[in-house]
């Protein structure tokens, strides 16, 4: 007999999803504020479980004592240290939630092994993500490792969404789409997902270019960053127009069908919100010289968009004509 109801299990998945999105936002704040090395060691911070709040609490030779690969660390900055520390604490909370989810999934080890094994894989993924966090520090914030760290966060989001999909498959569908509507919407959903994935890859390249430029130019020269980013930035910016147009057409078509399923309408609104948020953040980055506050917003909006696109894809599949109902 299951020791957790399907409704409660699904609700807890939603809680974990929100937690992961918040963690991605915090991770973006860490990166945009340059707080990644606020704690130069891992899993402790300056050798302590609770980091210092003042430089007087550190040894006089702390720069060499906590050197990374022989390089002295920067001057102690309490804001950066605690920003990174809070990021780690929230990461631990997220990991704990996913551990609970893996335990609760034992309720499905016989009734739906897919949910059970996905939950265990989810736990392995978050452990790997924690290890990657340590590698980010030990490699002195190597851009490619930071990008991999972000990609793993997206993978964790999709594992959670896939578990929700399996749970929703058990629900009884009273209304379905016509064959023509189903075919069109399913194809559009695949197109926007592929286009968004390409845009996210381009975005990671822009982010790495920004990191490289930031090392060569002073903080006060942010207005000069744009001219030195290279062609990848202009491709990323121009490509967004194509993505927004196709996404807009997809959302319009979904609105015409929203009476079929309220959940599809909600997820469509989530897509629209994510696109608008990403656009506002992206425009702000370009025209206001890369404000720190907009960088994490742009990132989390893109990840949310991918999540809502996938949930819409799953919703559409569940509304397939009976003879073509797909898993």
Contacts of 113 (CB under 8 A, 6+ apart): none
Stated pTM of the model:
0.88
At residue 110, the 3 state secondary structure works out as: coil
Q: Give residue 281's pLDDT.
A: 94
User: How big is the chain, counted in residues?
Assistant: 327
How large is the average pLDDT for residues 67-82?
A: 84
Q: What pLDDT, in 10s, does the model give residues 49-69? A: 999 999 999 988 888 888 877
Please report which confidence band the pLDDT of residue 194 belongs to, taking 50, 70 and 90 as the band edges: very high
Please report which confidence band the pLDDT of residue 34 belongs to, taking 50, 70 and 90 as the band edges: confident
Domain ranges of the chain: 1-171, 175-327
DSSP state of 75: P
Instruction: Kindly tell me if the per-residue pLDDT of 2 is higher than 70.
Output: no
Instruction: Kindly tell me if the per-residue pLDDT of 137 is higher than 90.
Output: no
- Count CA atoms within 13 Å of residue 275 on its CB side: 24
Contacts of 277 (CB under 8 A, 6+ apart): 297, 301, 304
Which is more confident, 32 or 244? 244
Q: Give residue 215's pLDDT.
A: 66
Burial class, 287, CB count within 10 angstroms (exposed 0-12 / middle 13-18 / buried 19+): exposed
Which is more confident, 288 or 247? 247
Instruction: Kindly tell me if the per-residue pLDDT of 221 is higher than 90.
Output: no
Nearest Cα residue to 99 out of 134, 129, 67, 141: 129
Mean pLDDT check: name the lowest of 15-24, 30-39, 205-214.
Answer: 205-214
Q: Quote the CA–CA distance of 327 and 318 in Å, as a whole number.
A: 8
Q: What pLDDT, in 10s, does the model give residues 260-308? A: 788 899 999 999 999 999 999 999 988 887 788 898 999 999 999 999 9
């Amino acid at each position: 007999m299951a020791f957790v109801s399907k409704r409660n299990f699904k609700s807890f998945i939603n809680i974990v999803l929100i937690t992961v999105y918040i963690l991605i936002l915090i991770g973006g704040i860490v990166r945009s504020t340059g707080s990644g090395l606020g704690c130069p060691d891992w899993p402790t911070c300056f050798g302590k479980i609770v980091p210092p709040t003042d430089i007087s609490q550190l040894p006089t030779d702390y720069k060499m004592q906590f050197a990374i690969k022989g390089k002295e660390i920067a001057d102690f900055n309490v804001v950066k240290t605690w920003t990174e520390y809070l990021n780690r604490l929230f990461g631990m909370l997220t990991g704990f939630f996913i551990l609970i989810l893996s335990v609760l999934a034992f309720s499905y080890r016989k009734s739906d092994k897919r949910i059970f094994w996905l939950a265990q894989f989810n736990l392995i993924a978050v452990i790997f993500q924690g290890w990657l966090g340590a590698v980010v520090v030990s490699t002195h914030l190597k851009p490619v490792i930071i990008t991999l760290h972000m990609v793993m966060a997206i993978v964790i989001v999709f594992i959670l969404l896939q578990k929700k999909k399996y749970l929703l498959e058990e629900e009884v569908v009273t209304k379905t789409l016509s064959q023509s509507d189903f075919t069109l919407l399913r194809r559009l959903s695949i197109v926007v997902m592929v286009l968004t994935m390409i845009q996210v890859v381009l975005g990671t390249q822009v982010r790495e270019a920004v990191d490289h430029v930031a090392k060569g130019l002073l903080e006060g020269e942010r207005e000069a960053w744009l001219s030195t980013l290279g062609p990848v930035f202009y491709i990323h910016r121009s490509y967004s127009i194509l993505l927004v147009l196709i996404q807009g057409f997809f959302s319009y078509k979904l609105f015409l069908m929203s009476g079929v399923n309220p959940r599809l309408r909600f997820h469509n609104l989530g897509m629209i919100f994510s696109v608008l948020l990403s656009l506002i953040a992206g425009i702000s980055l370009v025209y206001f010289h890369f404000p720190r506050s907009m960088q994490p917003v742009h990132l989390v909006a893109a990840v949310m968009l991918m999540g809502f696109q996938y949930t819409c894809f799953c919703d559409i599949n569940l509304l397939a004509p009976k003879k073509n109902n797909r898993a």
